[in-house]
């Protein structure tokens, strides 16, 4: 077996094409858009290169056939925020051959150790947690959501046999859109509805900046306390909303206010993989026209929860349920969607798990983020639970 640094057009193309062959017989795998993968490794488009570094490889057999790929990287803003200096490895794909997998893991480990790292997390993204994070452990019978990994079942044994340990689990919850809302939440929602200080608004595309500001305020108060999640600035919030604006369905984005102060949001969008799966990884002009056609014809019957947050001062008052009830009141009669899924609820966030399960949602997919401590004599700690 031979390792090759990804350094030219041929190896970059092979890095993209190898999974297409590997998953050719996996009916539920959806090919990611090539541009979404390529942008991770483009210093001009991925801001993480400003404070990090990355290397990637492909692995070939003695016939010069690609049998694996991987990337290793360091985020110098976050590598020292837990018990050990920790780098990352990701975009791991491999044939069912443990020797090949271990060679890829060893390569990442050696590269990270050369740069002073004491541990590595994987498979993760050289970027935000909402994309390409974790190895799929349950839910192989379901299609992946946009930018969520669908990985081979045998990867789990590769990671665990190598000595990676379960750092945290990420759950994708699912429920039918027409589910009956629990009575206890209906009662709380009615109580809040009777209070004139509370009101709810759907997103308005013509007021992008106003809603981006409200999102920024809520996010920085409700989410930035989560481990590994940094605060956001206005430019970042505006960028997010400008990117989402063309595909947002205003019926499924709800903001909550108390005396006109933004206190919560429930942001959902049509689940884009239901449209992208028809494009075979491309997003050129012809693919964009096909996307618009499938969108207009109602091919997307699944909606996807992007973010849910309530600022701390209003948590536990019933606002969480009231926001969801308000969203259901608007969405259910229109019958545009059949399934609702919400990604990335970590097992370190028991409050959110309790909330979504109390509405009847169940786990549809489970991903695992692993951590490998290089010095095996040192203790392993799981991700800290959010109070």
| DSSP string for residues in 184-253 | HHHHHHHHHHT-TTEEEEE--GGGHHHHHHHHHHHHHHHTTTSTT-----HHHHHHHHHHHTTT--GGGE
pLDDT (mean) for 348-359: 89
Q: Which CATH number fits domain 178-337: 3.40.720.10, 3.40.630.30, 3.90.1150.10, 3.40.50.720?
A: 3.40.630.30
Strand partners for 3: 59
pTM of this prediction exceeds 0.85: yes
Q: pLDDT tens-digit profile of 115-147?
A: 999 999 999 999 988 899 999 999 999 999 999
Domain(s) of CATH 3.40.630.30: residues in the chain: 2-168, 178-337
CA angle centred on 100, ends 95 and 101, rounded to 5°: 80
pLDDT-wise least confident of 50-59, 104-113, 307-316, 334-343:
307-316
Beta 165-176 vs 52-60: how paired, if at all? unpaired
Structure tokens at 28: 């539920």
pLDDT for 225 equals 57
216: left (phi over 0), alpha (psi -120 to 50) or beta: alpha
Kindly report the CATH number that applies to the domain delimited by 2-168: 3.40.630.30
């Amino acid at each position: 077996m031979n390792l090759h640094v990804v350094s030219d057009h041929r190896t970059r193309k092979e890095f993209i094409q190898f999974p297409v062959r590997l998953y050719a017989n996996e009916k539920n795998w959806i090919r990611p858009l090539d541009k979404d993968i390529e942008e991770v490794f483009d210093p001009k488009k991925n801001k993480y290169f400003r404070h990090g570094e990355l290397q990637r490889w492909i692995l070939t057999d003695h016939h010069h056939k690609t049998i694996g790929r991987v990337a290793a990287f360091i985020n110098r803003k976050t590598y020292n925020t837990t018990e050990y200096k920790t780098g990352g490895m990701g975009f791991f794909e491999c044939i069912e051959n443990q020797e090949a997998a271990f060679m890829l893991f060893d390569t990442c480990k050696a590269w990270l150790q050369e740069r002073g790292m004491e541990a590595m997390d994987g498979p993760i993204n050289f970027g935000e947690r909402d994309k390409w994070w974790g190895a799929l452990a349950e839910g192989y019978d379901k299609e992946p959501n946009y930018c969520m990994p669908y990985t081979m079942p045998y990867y789990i044994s590769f990671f665990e046999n190598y000595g990676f340990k379960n750092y945290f689990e990420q759950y994708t919850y699912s429920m039918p859109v027409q589910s009956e809302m629990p009575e206890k939440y209906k009662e709380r929602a009615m109580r809040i509805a009777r209070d004139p200080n509370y009101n709810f608004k759907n997103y308005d595309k013509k007021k992008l900046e106003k809603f981006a500001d409200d999102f920024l305020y809520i996010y920085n108060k409700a989410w930035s306390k989560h481990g590994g999640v940094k605060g956001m600035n206005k430019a970042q919030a505006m960028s997010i909303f400008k990117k989402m604006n063309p595909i947002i369905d205003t019926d499924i984005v709800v903001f909550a206010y108390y005396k006109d102060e933004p206190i919560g949001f429930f942001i959902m969008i049509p689940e884009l993989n239901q449209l992208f799966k028809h494009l075979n990884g491309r997003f050129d002009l012809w693919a964009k026209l096909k996307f618009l056609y499938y969108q207009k014809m109602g091919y997307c019957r699944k909606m996807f929860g992007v973010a849910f947050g309530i600022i701390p001062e209003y948590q536990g008052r019933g606002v969480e349920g009231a926001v969801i009830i308000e969203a259901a009141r608007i969405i259910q009669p229109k019958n545009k969607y059949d399934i609702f899924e919400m990604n990335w609820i970590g097992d370190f966030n028991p409050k959110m798990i309790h909330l979504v399960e109390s509405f009847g949602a169940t786990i549809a997919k489970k991903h695992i983020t692993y951590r490998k401590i290089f010095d095996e004599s040192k203790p392993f700690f799981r991700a800290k639970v959010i109070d």
